[in-house]
Structure 1
Amino acid sequence: MLFINLKTIKSAAFGLFIILSACISSCGNSQSGKKKRELISFKPYNGINYSEVSRRQRNGLSFNEYGYQLEPQWKLKFVSDDSISIFSPTKNAFINFPLTRGYDSIFNAARSWLKVRKINKDSITMEILIQQGDSLDVKGTKVFMRFYADNYIKNVLHTDTSILRHPSSKDTSFIRSLSAKANADYTKAFAARQPAIITSKSPLVTVSRRTTKPDILNNFDNSDDYLDPTYDIVIKNAFKDFYYSFTMYIDDKGNLYYGIPLVGFNGDEEREADYIHTSKAVIESYFKFYLNVKPGTTLGMIHSSTVSVHVEGKAKTAAK
Structure 2
Amino acid sequence: MLHLSSHDASKRSIILSVRPQVQSAEGALPRVALESTVIAHGLPYPHNLRLARRLEAHVREHGAEPATIAILHGELRAGLTDSELHYLATATTVRKVSRRDLPIVVAQKLDGATTVASTMFIAHRFGIEVFATGGIGGVHRGTVFDVSADLPELAQTPVTVVCAGAKAILDLPATLEWLETHGVTVLGYGTDQFPAFYSRESGLTVDARVDSPAEVAAIVRAKRQLGMTSGLLVCVPVPAAAELPAQAVEPFIQQALSEADQRGIRGKAITPFLLARVSELTGEASLRTNLALLENNARVAAQIAVALTER
Q: TM-score range by the shorter chain?
A: under 0.3
Choose 1 or 2 for highest CA Rg. 1
Per residue, is there more helix in 1 or in 2?
Answer: 2
Q: TM-score, normalised by structure 1?
A: 0.20
